[in-house]
């Protein structure tokens, strides 16, 4: 008991204690946050599909037709028509033979990596990969070689010297807290050279990058070369859950071997129907992706015009690194007073000393409100005497 109290006190002392904030209403461009209207700048509802009338209606209709829950895992009695249909559509959208749904991105990553790598093998993982990838590596009992962020030379060095069998290279496509993109061509080349599988997590790339929002792998024209892509239904697609796309054989193997698939209840029909409606809207209205991109640029340019140095590439994720956790939360609170909500991101979500505000643009924002928000950020940062460090140069691949 006292142990937990001590650990909480330690978190408080380090400025790392977290708490839940209450959002009232759907994830639109503006929300009521604990009674105050704010511009929402930290939701992953990138395309505004979570609150879209057609998506809501699809969920409601599916609840009436199929019920609220699936009742069991897919392999027992929970496999329904909406699962099969959505898997087919996702595979077609991503250009893969097959797709397999999982309860969440966390479950997809942890279960898939653990199923594809084992004792005596090695998984190669970018140091800034999402926590669910890190946990998948731990679950696998394989050795994990963590290579420096986007550093192909370090990865190649590790592949060359490994004593175990290289089983898998795994990377975020768009890095969730940094917004930069993995060097996919080099990863493909290394995976081929060392005869191991390549898995790319497209959680933040689907709906945001590539032709029609098909993701970073499709943007690089590498769908034929990347063995598995993971995507989520809970971000740009506006619903909840996740999927992997792969060959029919790999997908059939995961259906048998991924414990997070086998031992977990199937996604509920309303969630599936919402995701399918979201996917339909993405396909029918690719201009949403263009809006997202334009809005991200407006936000990035606005922050730069304030003398701030947002990091990342050109994605919808616009991180503003502050460094110290306490200072980051001060800026976060100051912005709330100015009607802007961008949650502070602290360790262990990001490495120690790199706490940040992680702004995310949505297609449903107006460019002008993003420019105004950037001015507010500039003013709040000046009030607090915060100068953001220049973004670190991306790791060079010599
Ligand atoms: C959000 C996220 C996940 C987890 O997906 P959930 O469906 O939210 O569990 C996995 N990988 C990355 C890169 C993410 O950003």
CATH assignment of the domain containing 262: 3.40.640.10
Residue to probe by mutation, ligand 1, list 103, 105, 178, most atoms within 8 Å of CB: 105
Q: For residues 242 and 339, state if they share a domain.
A: no
Is residue 75 domain-shared with residue 150, that is, in the same domain? Answer: yes
> What's the Cα-to-Cα distance from 278 to each of 241, 251, 273, rounded to whole Å?
13, 23, 8
Q: Are residues 215 and 146 in the same domain?
A: yes
- Whether 4 is in a domain gets the answer no
**How far are the Cα atoms of 101, 109, 119, 147 from residue 190, in angstroms, in the given order?**
28, 21, 22, 13
Q: Percent of the chain, pLDDT > 70?
A: 97
Query: Does the pLDDT value for residue 164 go beyond 70?
Result: yes
Please list the active-site residues.
176, 204, 235
| pLDDT exceeds 50 at position 395 | no
Q: Is-contact 259 115, C-beta < 8 A?
A: yes
Q: What is the CATH number of the domain that holds 373?
A: 3.90.1150.10
- Regarding whether 322 and 227 lie in a shared domain, the answer is no
Does 6 fall in a domain? no
Domain C-terminal end among 224, 250, 284: 284
Is residue 77 located within the same domain as residue 139? yes
Tell me the best of 232, 264, 319 to mutate to test the pocket of ligand 1, counting ligand atoms within 8 Å of each CB and taking the most: 232
Domain annotation covers residue 293? yes
Task: Look up the domain containing 101 and give its range.
Answer: 53-284
**276 belongs to a structural domain:** yes
Instruction: Give yes or no: residues 156 and 134 share one domain.
Output: yes
Residue 129 Cα: closest atom of ligand 1? 13
131 CA → ligand 1 middle, Å: 8
pLDDT band at 313 (very low <50, low <70, confident <90, very high): confident
Say if ligand 1 is within 6 A of residue 106 CB.
Answer: yes
pLDDT at 166: 86
Asked if the structure places residue 8 within a domain, the reply is: no
Q: From CA 41, how far away is CA 26, in angstroms rounded?
A: 14
Q: Is residue 378 part of a domain?
A: yes
Domain assignment of residue 169, yes or no: yes
Same domain for 263 and 306, yes or no, is: no
Domain stops at, among 253, 284, 315: 284
What is the average per-residue pLDDT within 38-58?
98
The last residue of a domain, from among 284, 300, 325 = 284
**Whether residues 251 and 329 fall in one domain:** no
CA of 105 to the centre of ligand 1 (A): 5
Residue 309 lies in a domain: yes
The pLDDT tens digits of the residues spanning 54-106 come to 999 999 999 999 999 999 999 999 999 999 999 999 999 999 999 999 999 99
Specify whether 26 is located in the same domain as 41. Answer: yes
Angle (nearest 5°) at CA 82 between 77 and 84: 75
Q: Report which protein residue has its CA nearest ligand 1's atom 6.
A: 105
Same domain, 290 and 346: yes
Q: How far apart are CA 335 and CA 351, in angstroms?
A: 23
Q: Are residues 271 and 194 in the same domain?
A: yes
Confidence label for 397 from pLDDT (cuts 50, 70 and 90): very low
Q: Determine the Cα–Cα distance for residues 294 and 291; give it in Å rounded to an integer.
A: 5
Q: How many domains does the chain have?
A: 2
175 in contact with ligand 1, CB cutoff 6 A: no
Residues 78 and 47 placed together within one structural domain of the fold: no
């Amino acid at each position: 008991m006292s142990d937990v109290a001590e650990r909480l006190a330690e978190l408080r002392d380090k400025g790392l204690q977290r708490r839940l904030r209450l959002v009232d209403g759907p994830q639109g461009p503006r929300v009521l946050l604990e009674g105050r209207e704010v511009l929402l700048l930290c939701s992953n509802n990138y395309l505004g599909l979570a609150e879209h009338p057609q998506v809501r209606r699809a969920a409601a209709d599916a609840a009436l037709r199929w019920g609220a829950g699936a009742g069991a895992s897919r392999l027992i009695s929970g496999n329904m028509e909406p699962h099969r249909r959505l898997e087919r559509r996702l595979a077609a959208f991503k250009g893969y033979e097959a797709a397999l749904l999982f309860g969440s991105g966390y479950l997809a990553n942890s279960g898939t990596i653990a199923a594809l790598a084992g004792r005596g093998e090695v998984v190669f993982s970018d140091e800034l990969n999402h926590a669910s990838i890190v946990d998948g590596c731990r679950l696998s009992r394989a050795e994990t070689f963590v290579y420096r962020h986007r550093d192909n030379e370090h990865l190649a060095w590790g592949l060359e010297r490994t004593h175990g069998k290289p089983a898998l290279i795994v990377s975020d496509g768009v890095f969730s807290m940094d917004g930069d993109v993995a060097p996919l061509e080099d990863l493909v080349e290394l995976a081929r050279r060392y005869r191991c599988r390549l898995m790319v997590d497209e959680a933040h790339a689907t709906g945001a990058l590539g032709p029609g929002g098909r993701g970073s792998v499709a943007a690089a024209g590498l769908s034929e070369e990347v063995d598995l892509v993971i995507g989520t239904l809970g971000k740009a697609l506006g619903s909840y859950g996740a999927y992997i796309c792969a060959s029919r054989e790999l997908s059939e193997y995961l259906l048998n071997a991924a414990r997070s698939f086998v031992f977990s209840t199937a996604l509920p029909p309303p969630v599936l129907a919402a995701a399918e409606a979201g996917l339909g809207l993405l396909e029918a209205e690719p201009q949403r992706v263009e809006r997202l991109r334009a809005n991200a640029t407006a936000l990035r340019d606005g922050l730069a015009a304030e003398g701030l140095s947002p990091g990342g590439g050109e994605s919808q994720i616009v991180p503003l690194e502050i460094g110290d956790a306490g200072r980051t939360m001060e800026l976060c609170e100051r912005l709330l007073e100015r009607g802007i909500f961008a949650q502070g991101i602290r360790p262990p979500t990001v490495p120690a000393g790199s706490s940040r505000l992680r702004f995310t643009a949505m297609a449903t924002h107006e460019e002008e409100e993003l420019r105004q928000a950037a001015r507010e950020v500039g003013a709040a940062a000046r009030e607090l005497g915060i100068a953001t460090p220049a973004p670190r140069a991306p790791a060079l691949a010599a």
